[in-house]
Structure formats: C-alpha cells, structure tokens
C-alpha cells in the first residue's frame, strides 16, 4: 500500500472503530441488555435495537459494495428498519450486536487490504475508501443517537466510561 493510502487506511480504521473522535462503538453497546435495547421513547421513532439493526443492514450492504460485489438496493429505506421494537430474547440481542461488531472488524480488514482509491465497477463514481468512510460516518451518526437514548434512560455512561480513551 502506498504511503498516502496507508495513512488513509489508518484513519479509516480509527473512524470505523470509534477511536479518538468518540468512544469505541463496542463500548457503547456491549453492556446494553435486551430490555434497554427495545425500550421505546414516545418522542423518538426507534429504539436502540432498531438503530443497531438499521446500522447493520447498511453496513452489510456497503461492505458488499466496498468489495465490488453485486447487491440489491431496497425498494425503500424503510426496509432497512425492523418492525420489531426489540429483540425476542437476550440471545438474539447478543447476536445482533456481535454481527454488527463483526461487520466493523470486516470493514477494518478491508481498509487495511483493499486498494482504497480504485474505482468500483458495481458502484460507479465510488471507491472502496469512500464506501468505508460512508460506513464510518453512518455508524457514528447513529451512535450519537444511541448515546442520547442511553442518557434519557439514565443508562450512561457505560462501565468503560463515556469519553474517548
């Protein structure tokens, strides 16, 4: 990897994991139980569970794009949001979080191994680096919402603390 791509790769990995700019994403999620994950707030259109499922949906979609693989756009953005407010079980919630975090790991591996500035055939005008940056910004956007929801339920900070380390 060329030096400028190495620097961009390292910056992408930090953004994807949530280093420096905000606390690591895993730290904001790992201690949430299924009750908190599915607890609604009347003024908000979604729960933490729905946010994480939505984040995972687009992360999965964009990971395929970063690898220049075919994917199918949903007919509407609404398809990326689950109807269920919360998980059916603690195991389901654990699997949702684990799947999402594994996607972040996969994105980091791609950031370290793909030619980040190569144009994608299946996503005209885009590069793997741009797609991975999109994953990082989308996840960061919704992570902020998760933090606010946790604060509204007096479930903040997590045991690791609420600030970047």
Per-residue confidence in pLDDT tens, the chain, 165 aa: 555 589 999 999 999 999 877 889 999 999 999 999 999 999 999 999 999 999 999 999 999 999 999 999 999 999 999 999 999 999 999 999 999 999 999 999 999 999 999 999 999 999 999 999 999 999 999 999 999 999 999 999 999 887 764
Residues 6+ apart with CB under 8 A from 165: 23, 24
- Can you tell me the distance from the alpha carbon of 54 to that of 43, in angstroms, rounded to the nearest whole number? 19
Please give the domain boundaries of the chain with CATH numbers for all domains.
3-152 (1.20.120.450)
Residues 6+ apart with CB under 8 A from 17: 24, 25, 26, 104, 108
What tokens were used for 5? 């791509």
């Amino acid at each position: 990897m060329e030096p400028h791509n190495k620097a961009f790769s390292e910056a992408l990995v930090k953004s994807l994991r949530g280093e420096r700019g905000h606390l690591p994403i895993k730290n904001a999620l790992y201690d949430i139980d299924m009750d908190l994950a599915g607890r609604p707030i009347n003024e908000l259109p979604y729960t933490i569970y729905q946010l994480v499922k939505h984040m995972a949906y687009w992360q999965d979609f964009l990971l395929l794009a970063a690898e220049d693989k075919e994917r199918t756009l949903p007919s509407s953005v609404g398809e990326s949001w689950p109807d269920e407010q919360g998980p059916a079980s603690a195991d389901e919630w654990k699997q949702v979080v684990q799947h999402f975090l594994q996607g972040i790991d996969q994105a980091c591996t791609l950031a370290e191994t793909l030619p980040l500035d190569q144009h994608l055939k299946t996503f005209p005008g885009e590069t793997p680096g741009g797609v991975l940056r999109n994953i990082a910004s989308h996840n960061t956007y919704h992570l902020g919402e998760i933090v606010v929801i946790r604060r509204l339920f007096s479930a903040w900070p997590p045991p690791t603390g609420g600030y970047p380390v």
